Structure 1
Amino acid sequence: MRNATSRILAGTLTGTLAGTLLVAASAAAQSDRSDWPDSFTVGTASQGGTYFVYGSGWANLIADELGVSGGGEVTGGPTQNMALVHSGDVALGLTTMGPAAEALAGESPLAPGMVMDNVCALFPMYETPFSITALEGSGIESISDIPDGARIGFGPAASTSDTYFPAMLETLGVNFDRRNGGWSDLGGQLQDGLIDVIAFAAGIPIPAVSQLEVQTDVNIIEFTEEEQQTVLENFPVSEFQIPASTYETLEEDARAVSMWNFTIAGCDLSEDFIYEVTKLSLENNDRMRDVHRSAATSIPENIKYNTVLPFHPGAVRWYEENGYEIPEDLKL
């Protein structure tokens, strides 16, 4: 009986000790989160686009796994997201390297002269390729073939395409009449002869081009090596190859350029919070791909494509713990 009583008492004491340890661990975990935000918002873009799907899904993943209330918010896209994150109106966001460079230099069209230096990079998302399409019957087979005064559709006004592609073509010596509109609308205008060329900055395959291929013969125009190098030297873009498998028209890969998209955060956000966000995002690529298939390139090896924004200290900690080197000039 004495032995049985001893076992019961020991079990009670063990259970009590375990409960005490659990309470202590829970309290420690809560104290570790003392500087975490109570909630967060991810700045995305318009509904239906990749930014909205990616950003909202990413926000849900963070909220579910880290236990912090949050979600995606419709915004004007990369340029506005830089301003919203800088001001603290949203904690996290998505942007492209072009708008990021402009904002950091105080050249954002939303706030000229304001240096948006409270924005830090977290991790790479995916590339936005720049590509050019014309009807086969136009005789335009290269950028140098584009005639003076050609009517070129650059996508929606103030979009990444409309912001950068005209400047790229001007740098390459092309003179044109600028047109704007939705991609499907511009595809119809090209087919009807109302415009001569479409200059796209969008994920591939571009539905408007795929549709054109079904209805008529098109030329998908690649950059020459010299043209590509000129653009690389003058704009925040990277080398890109449009795989031949992307379109029926292509017989081999087409040389192009692309602009990388990165997730961003306020530089003043909790280092521990951003460390956990980065860890969750980069150690669960399968779940990120479930959010959007473009997340296949949301991997740490692609951090090299950010040469503009400093990385958040929380992100830097995760990269360095996992053997990835961050250049000193990209650390705060």
Structure 2
Amino acid sequence: MSRRMLKVALVVLMLFVALSGCRTQEPEPPPENGEDNGLHFEQITPDSLVIGTASLGGTYHAYGQGWAALISETLDIPVTVEETGGPVHNLIFVETGYFMLGMTTLGPAYEAWFGREEWTWGREHRNIRALFPMYNTYFHWVTDADSGIAALQDMDGRRVGNGPVGGTIGTAAPRIFNLLGINVQLEFGGLSELLSRQRHGLLDANGIAGGVPVPSFAAYDSDKGPENVRYIGVDGQEREIIKEEWPYFTDAVIPQGTYAGLREDLETIGVWNVAIGSKFLDDDLVYEIVKAVLENNEVMLQYHDAAQETLAENLDNLYIVPLHPGAIRYYEEQGIEVPDHLLPPEYGSENN
């Protein structure tokens, strides 16, 4: 683990301890949009910004570098990226104000907003706001062609890399394998490190949930040779079981050729990613951030191909976490109708 990741992990641990005092046996029912739940608060315009991303070698880190560079140049504000454990950690950091910006997926966002699952300690994360849709997250695994693994069920009893603990795959895969009755020996860590272990025969496969192509997977494919790798997705009855249990999962397809070794379309599951920010960020600043990203897609594409889905019209893929009022202003100016379920509690107060 790098010194930076160790620092981040220690901060997360301290935040968990701080949140432990808020833990309850059963979370209270979530307030409806528009109820007085801290509607009046002071907004800030920081001198600099930090974006919570994920481990090196994954899509979040590459995408975050593009987002940071674009904001820095367009708004003349210093913006840096911080390597984290991924979506869960980023939700905690933005909720507590450690970072003002981050990236997450709708699964952990759902759990955070309603204070569900143990990692939230029963705390409803109501300081987070959605900014813009990023891209769909595609769940898939890479293994060597001679590993004997051709489907998820073949991973029973095998050693499989599962990314950082707080990442999308790190959070979701243990539950998925448990639901499907597959006994996998999971190992957690940075994706690049885990793929290195696979190269040396210490792991049988590695999983990821991210925008495609995932840089580290593409590099592994190139190093091993396209004919020597195999990609595993989720389809058929297994996919239907997962969607019934967690409705935020959707059908997804990774097109052939996404990786050199992917010789046909790969059926799998997906869940959308969303850029998030603190509700305490100034409306005008958030408006400019959203405008910069959505009107400079060609710049984002220089950092990762997943940005091809970072489009205003994909707003209808978001739910659970309401939009920041500054983001709402941008969408409305573009003639995009913002659904009621994406309006934050404070929005009605500001516009009455």
Normalised by the length of structure 1, the TM-score is 0.76
1:231 corresponds to 2:231: no
Aligned counterpart in structure 2 of residue 267 of structure 1, from 267, 275, 279: 279
Q: Number of residue pairs matched?
A: 297
C-alpha separation between the residues in 2 aligned to 1:35 and 1:145? 52
CA contact (8 A) 1:99 1:108 kept: no
C-alpha separation between the residues in 1 aligned to 2:145 and 2:278? 47
Aligned counterpart in structure 1 of residue 137 of structure 2, from 120, 128, 132: 128
C-alpha separation between the residues in 2 aligned to 1:268 and 1:47? 27
Note the 1:103-252 alignment, pairs <5 A: 103-107=112-116, 111-147=120-156, 149-187=157-195, 189-190=197-198, 194-202=202-210, 203-205=212-214, 206-207=217-218, 209-211=220-222, 213-214=224-225, 217-235=228-246, 236-252=248-264
Normalised by the length of structure 2, the TM-score is 0.72
Aligned-residue offset at 1:116: 1.0
Note the 1:63-142 alignment, pairs <5 A: 63-67=72-76, 69-76=77-84, 77-107=86-116, 111-142=120-151
Determine helix, strand or coil for the equivalent of 1:223.
coil
1:284 maps to: 296
CA contact (8 A) 2:43 2:280 kept: no
Determine helix, strand or coil for the equivalent of 1:137.
coil
1:41 maps to: 49
Determine helix, strand or coil for the equivalent of 1:244.
coil
Output the aligned Cα RMSD: 3.0
Greater length-normalized contact order (CA 8 Å, ≥ 6 residues apart): 2
CA contact (8 A) 1:135 1:217 kept: yes
C-alpha separation between the residues in 1 aligned to 2:199 and 2:69? 41
C-alpha separation between the residues in 2 aligned to 1:181 and 1:171? 23
2:330 maps to: 318
The letter of the residue matching 2:234 is: F
Determine helix, strand or coil for the equivalent of 1:262.
strand
Aligned-residue offset at 1:131: 0.8
CA contact (8 A) 2:161 2:206 kept: yes
C-alpha separation between the residues in 2 aligned to 1:191 and 1:173? 27
CA distance change for structure 1 residues 121 and 211 in 2, over 3 Å: closer, same or farther? same
- Identity, % of aligned positions: 34
CA deviation vs aligned residue, 1:264-291 (integer Å, no higher than 9, x gap): 1122333233222222221222233345
Structure with more of its chain in helix, by fraction: 1
1:330 corresponds to 2:338: no
Determine helix, strand or coil for the equivalent of 2:257.
helix
CA deviation vs aligned residue, 1:39-66 (integer Å, no higher than 9, x gap): 2413223574543443344234334333
Instruction: Give the gaps of 5 or more residues in structure 2.
Output: 1-41, 345-352
Indicate the structure (1 or 2) with the bigger Cα radius of gyration: 1
1:8 maps to: none
Aligned-residue offset at 1:254: 0.7
The letter of the residue matching 2:123 is: M
Aligned-residue offset at 1:306: 1.8
C-alpha separation between the residues in 2 aligned to 1:47 and 1:226? 32
Aligned counterpart in structure 2 of residue 307 of structure 1, from 314, 319, 331: 319
Aligned-residue offset at 1:106: 1.8
CA contact (8 A) 1:184 1:208 kept: no
CA distance change for structure 1 residues 179 and 268 in 2, over 3 Å: closer, same or farther? closer
Aligned-residue offset at 1:123: 0.6
C-alpha separation between the residues in 1 aligned to 2:82 and 2:260? 35
C-alpha separation between the residues in 2 aligned to 1:179 and 1:35? 41
1:58 corresponds to 2:67: yes
